[in-house]
Structure 1
Amino acid sequence: MINRVLGILVIGAATTASAGDSLNRHILERAASCWPTQTAMRGISFSADVHVSFTSEGHVSVIEIVDVAPQTETFKALAKDFANALKQCGPYGTEGMSEMDLNLSWPL
């Protein structure tokens, strides 16, 4: 069973909203497929706002975790774990975008 990542937001994208949503959904779902922690996430909800910079080849160069909710050490660790999966699952087809703001909402 594959868990789906919801709640995707692109800020400053030069694409239409639906195309941007589709791109971000693809990136977050691909990262979730590399996230070994997701199998232990049944019944747990959290969200993380993440700013991501990409190389011209689509690899993640920098990830900044902007906010995590709820604000506990456990959920901050989950956000870092997801950020590592985001790095490992690249490169991504970013359609020429070098930076994105992603919102990961994880309601299971």
Structure 2
Amino acid sequence: MINRILGVLVIGAATTASAGDGLSRHILERAASCWPTQTAMRGISFSADVHVSFTREGHVSAIQIVDVAPQTETFKSLARDFADALKRCGPYVTEGKSEMNLNLSWPL
């Protein structure tokens, strides 16, 4: 269930300008393709800041969850599931970037 919920989170994610809005959105949408359900987060607010490192080939080499709000075990678990999905759904087109900060925010 949490994986399905997180899919919606990533599809609706806002990204930080420092990573490039189009590139970040592309990465988030690709990660969202790992979840089959896109409707389970209605009425829920959640955000997470995630720092991602990539290999030259675009695979995720490391993920650090920097912040989660609200600070509950449920939303921390959603952030961990997001990190797992990012790892599973690569490789990504990173336009030469080896690191990115992604800011997930639901709803938009």
Q: Which category of TM-score, normalised to the shorter sequence, fits these structures?
A: 0.7 to 0.9
The match for 1:100 is 100
Displacement of 1:36 after TM fit? 4.9
Displacement of 1:37 after TM fit? 6.8
RMSD: 2.0
Q: TM-score, normalising length from structure 1?
A: 0.82
Displacement of 1:38 after TM fit? 4.9
SS in 2 for 1:35: coil
The match for 1:47 is 47
The match for 1:67 is 67
Displacement of 1:32 after TM fit? 1.4
Q: TM-score, normalising length from structure 2?
A: 0.82
Q: Provide the C-alpha distance between the structure 1 equivalents of 2:74 and 2:65, rounded to a whole number of angstroms.
A: 14
CA 1:38–1:83: 2 relative to 1, 3 Å:
farther
Q: Provide the C-alpha distance between the structure 2 equivalents of 1:75 and 1:103, rounded to a whole number of angstroms.
A: 14
Do the aligned partners of 1:48 and 1:79 also contact (CA within 8 Å) in 2? yes
Displacement of 1:107 after TM fit? 1.3
SS in 1 for 2:87: helix
Q: String of CA shifts for 1:17-38, please: whole Å, max 9, x gaps.
A: xxx2100000011111213575
Amino acid at match of 1:69: A
Aligned length, in residue pairs: 100
Percent same amino acid among aligned pairs? 78
Displacement of 1:84 after TM fit? 0.5
Q: Which runs of 5+ in 1 are unaligned?
A: 14-19
Q: Provide the C-alpha distance between the structure 1 equivalents of 2:88 and 2:42, rounded to a whole number of angstroms.
A: 23
CA 1:31–1:75: 2 relative to 1, 3 Å:
same
- Where does 1:1-108 land on structure 2 (aligned, <5 Å)? 3=8, 4-11=11-18, 20-36=20-36, 38-107=38-107
